[in-house]
Structure 1
């Protein structure tokens, strides 16, 4: 099986600063202004993703020879934080797209990469990632979608659930059973979004992220050539887990961005809002709460980038990715709840973004493995290390 592509050393400070400045300009001018209105109306910002592709922000952690940005993961995550702070639908969408490209970029052969990766990274295409099923969420090894060999093709039948960009993606990375029950009988496939037999159900009705469609996908005898099978036969679950390690860093970065946006909103409000003859920012209770929230955001960012540096160095980072996802998403939930509380009735009003941030924060504790699963991953890594030392 081809190994994951190595990442290059961090670029010079000027280059990294320019990249971050570009992300901030795009976020401020294109992403943030329509966010509230489009989220309420359930409008997916497809043109925004096309713009990100044209500006080189949609394929940052992948090699330039395939149309990517050849950036260290740490710098990609900084960009992701900026996008998520402006609108979570966009930040999370970029993270999902990056996840959808991971199997091909990391485990596809040279011919597969050359054939499909440039269009996925720089061709204004959008990806989806198909692992979860109606009866297989946290227990990914129990998935039932099956791919059966028929000559030079595979026939895929089954249902995938909770698919971000379901029904609108141009391609999907799909995990399907090709062998026996259990983790060893799963393989990965690259499926075109317009493949005959592939249909999407009506998007789910969610408490937040109305602009990001999430839907079941039905595979009714979908045929794909054997050349679209990624990696070794039966090794799909290990490919999926490797992708999830990286994807959890993306979710953590989105959580940091969302928490930062909520804190900035609450901070600006308490400076303006006057009670008992002075701004409520003068009260010690308000100041202490803001200090705790800000400290947690910085601690989460430090944990996130510590894990990213391990990834960029080619070192194991499974436990660290789980820790970053756990801490950053739990803290984002706390920040958004407290931001609404600091703003009182105004925080509860849809005229301000704080209530939307709160509703959006909840999903980050669920996607890419629930935070209960993160605790299991962390504990397993700790205990495996302890047993190895005996």
Structure 2
């Protein structure tokens, strides 16, 4: 157990103050690494060119003219690369290399120090569980309207198989495509101006004809749209719309809103486009939910591991019951006696909770960082807590991606064996 303790609030303050001095530190460090990588790559190229130059010197014994020419070309390339390196090393960013690395190391030391406290790590993951669960819930809710919309469109298409009139109504997609075609042609024709009055008059007459065709399609779309809305209202049972549910085509939270938008001549949306957009959105959301659930599983596993580590830490400090068989049997015996006493005292549930381990004490800890008053319950609200959570999130995403790639490789391997 560390002799010198520092309160979490104090360390959190130091971290925020240090970070405030370098608001763009993460970006600067990233750019610095890119600069160093370029310098390294240029240095490797110079080494390769120096090797080529050495070969050229040997070849000069056979053909001095060609060899000297090649040597000059190589020297020019080396000079350009060295000039590039000089520019990079002379940049303001590279000149601040030591300063930036010192600041980065200082922040990393705070993160490393606070992460030595198991209660801190556990508290952040418990906060992360709430965030994951909330995200899953919001994502599942976001799919409700798209799924209902797709279900209604699917039922409309099935009903249309035995209803010629509905088939004509659902041809609204084709009408909108034709309308879009006429609008594009009209816009194109209007952009052309002829110097010849006769030619321009013919073009204007053609545009008027196209405008009439366009107006007919707009009228047809409006008519079919009205009939579609009426059909939905009259066939709510067949479409799976509850009888008590109010039909409001102007309610943006309703699945009918997106179907009604198809009926607007000014809207480019079609039934087929709606199906495609919502299907893609649902697939993306379901993948996102699955990834989040995997992250949640990882987090809960880490919480359990941290809890066990904390129990072991407290056992070593002689502050918590041990896990060996004798201590377990002793706890069971003590719990049984307590349960019997509860029974004689008329307790309705005499054995409820009697075998549970006592709650873990908040302190002490081997860590040099402690939170005497809150035991890190509000750590996730602090800047250092948020930065550690971000690190945890990135680690979880990496694990999920590795699991996905591993599963993909196994499937490919099995497919190969099958073949």
> Whose radius of gyration is greater, 1 or 2?
2
Same fold by TM (over 0.5)?
no
Whose strand proportion is higher, 1 or 2?
1
Range into which the TM-score falls when normalised by the shorter chain: under 0.3
Structure showing greater relative contact order (alpha-carbon pairs closer than 8 Å, 6 or more residues apart): 2
TM-score (norm 2): 0.21
